[in-house]
Amino acid sequence: MIIEVENLVKKYSGKIAVDHLNLQVEEGIIYGLLGPNGAGKSTTINCLLGLLKSDEGTIKILGEEMNSNNLKLKANIGVIPQNVAVFEELNVYENIDFFCGLYIKDKEQRKELVNEAIDFVGLTEYKKYVPKKLSGGLLRRLNIACGIAHKPKIVFMDEPTVAVDPQSRNNILEGVLKLKEQGSTIIYTSHYMEEIEQICDKIAIMDSGKIIAEGTTEELKNKITDTEKLVICANGIDDNIIEKLKNIPDVKLIEKDNNCIKVSYKKTQNSTLLAILQVIEEKGIIIDKIYNEVPTLNTVFLELTGKQLRDNM
């Protein structure tokens, strides 16, 4: 395992942010880390990076114990933060050269690595541009280049595609997959569930300082195989009807989207489906559309945490 965490505990003013967390990440994969606001995800990552000291537990990266003074180990780690962190007064080449220079002192080697990083993220024609001249998508690419130019074995990516256009997002995701092909291990966080499903080999869902579920997308979906999601679209479904539906035994969750509701319930209970339809019928509601929704990663997240990830980031 390239990352091994055992019984990690971190407290703030007596409050537990990370609660005896255990984590193992295999080498050469893209590992997705999901969690609603306050789940302990950021604290965990900061402990892994040696930016925070844990209260209990051990963190081993590349077989070595991580601590704030292990500079040799940190040189094998790249970090792409959510907020673009570059120098406004430096151009593209100079920015990447500066961050690469924190780890690579040889000028000729660094020049080669910087040019490789520029080519990798597709910024060759923008080498002399300062950040304010770049679009949001190009800025994100620069941010990535600054974090990977020194060829780290492990890359932490925090929301690398936030607030970019679809073309830039696709370019960034293709770059993430290329990094994996080149042998990097990537810890990837995002509130775009479709991204996590598309590129991650393994996914962990955090809540209340713990990992509550882990596995591939399919493995996570199988964890909620006892749940059916019924989508009902009709005019006139108000809060009173939703409250009546919530009181039906075995109904787990109700989401409302315009004139449609999504009702999650135990699929083994046929009587539950009949009770749902009876509530709608009693109110004289004419159903425009009704169907079962195929489980997605977002479904899994909602079932396990009861929270909407996008609204809690």
Q: What domains does the chain contain, in order, with CATH numbers?
A: 3-216 (3.40.50.300), 225-294 (3.30.70.980)
263 with 251: CB under 8 angstroms?
Answer: yes
pLDDT number for residue 203: 97
Query: What span, in angstroms and rounded, lies between the C-alpha atoms of 91 and 126?
Result: 9
Order across the sheet with 77-80: list the strands. 77-80, 154-158, 185-189, 30-34, 202-207, 210-215
Mean predicted confidence (pLDDT) in 284-295: 89
Average pLDDT, the chain: 91
Asked if pLDDT for residue 298 goes beyond 70, the answer is: yes
Query: What span, in angstroms and rounded, lies between the C-alpha atoms of 96 and 81?
Result: 15
Asked if pLDDT for residue 269 goes beyond 70, the answer is: no
Asked if pLDDT for residue 268 goes beyond 80, the answer is: no
Query: What span, in angstroms and rounded, lies between the C-alpha atoms of 128 and 33?
Result: 35
φ, ψ dihedrals at 36, nearest 5°: -70, 170
Query: What span, in angstroms and rounded, lies between the C-alpha atoms of 41 and 47?
Result: 10
Question: Any idea which of 215-219, 250-254, 296-300 has the lowest mean pLDDT?
Answer: 296-300
The predicted-structure confidence for 25-82, as pLDDT tens digits, reads as follows: 999 999 999 988 888 999 999 999 999 999 999 999 999 999 888 888 999 999 999 8
Query: What span, in angstroms and rounded, lies between the C-alpha atoms of 179 and 151?
Result: 10
Residue 263: C-alpha distances to residues 215, 250, 251, 293, 302 (Å): 25, 11, 7, 10, 12
145 with 129: CB under 8 angstroms?
Answer: no
Mean predicted confidence (pLDDT) in 130-136: 96
Confidence bin at 265 (pLDDT 50/70/90)? confident
Compute the CA torsion angle 171, 173, 179, 180 (nearest 10 deg).
-150
The predicted-structure confidence for 193-236, as pLDDT tens digits, reads as follows: 889 999 999 999 999 999 999 999 999 988 766 778 899 999 99
Higher-pLDDT residue of 255 and 25 is 25
The predicted-structure confidence for 138-156, as pLDDT tens digits, reads as follows: 999 999 999 999 999 999 9
Q: How many CB atoms lie within 10 A of CB 75?
A: 15
195 with 34: CB under 8 angstroms?
Answer: no
pTM of the model: 0.80
Mean predicted confidence (pLDDT) in 1-21: 95
pLDDT number for residue 313: 41
